């Protein structure tokens, strides 16, 4: 497994354009938020008890972050919990599925526009795990985290 530093450095290679960086700072968290919402909309089997698929996704993401870095895990834990609670709040007031689909599609449209400006393909075309590295890259920039 690559180190967190390797993954973030590689991710940064295709995110040098300032506009693309700004887009990512908004769109990446929005995409993660919408994915948690989408997973919450999948019918829950009885073996999950009071949980739902978004908890499974969040839990597996957090395990991956913990394996990569204790520091990033500690940043992402409250972030993911906040996103989960936010989705549960939204589900009480709006149709969560429709909301999540719209946020997902609009955010990805901006992401692809940013990469068009950048002139480079998104990192996840190379390695699907970069979909989980994007939120760490944003966290690093927002919270000035040192590797």
Q: pLDDT tens for residues 1-15?
A: 688 899 899 899 889
Mean pLDDT calculated for residue range 64-89? 95
Cβ-contact 77, 64 below 8 angstroms: no
Mean pLDDT calculated for residue range 50-67? 91
Percent of the chain with pLDDT over 70: 99
- Give the domain extent around 48: 4-143
Sorted by sequence, the CB contacts under 8 Å of residue 46 that are 6+ apart come out as none
Domain count of the chain? 1
Give me the pLDDT at residue 1, please. Answer: 66
Residue 92's CB: how many other CB atoms inside 10 A?
7
Mean pLDDT calculated for residue range 18-36? 96
Give me the pLDDT at residue 147, please. Answer: 67
pLDDT in tens, 109-140: 999 999 999 998 888 888 788 889 999 999 99
């Amino acid at each position: 497994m690559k180190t967190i530093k390797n993954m973030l450095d590689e991710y940064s290679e295709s995110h040098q354009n300032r506009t693309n960086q700004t887009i990512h700072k908004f769109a990446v968290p929005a995409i993660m938020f919408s994915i948690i919402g989408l997973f919450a909309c999948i019918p829950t089997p009885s073996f999950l008890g009071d949980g739902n698929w978004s908890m499974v996704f969040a839990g597996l993401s957090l395990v991956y972050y913990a394996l990569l870095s204790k520091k990033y895990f500690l940043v992402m834990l409250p972030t993911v919990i906040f996103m989960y609670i936010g989705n549960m709040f939204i589900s009480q007031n709006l149709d969560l599925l429709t909301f999540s689909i719209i946020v997902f599609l609009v955010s990805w449209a901006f992401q692809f526009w940013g990469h068009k400006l950048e002139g480079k393909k998104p990192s996840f075309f190379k390695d699907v795990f970069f979909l989980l590295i994007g939120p760490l890259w944003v966290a690093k920039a927002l919270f000035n985290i040192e590797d």
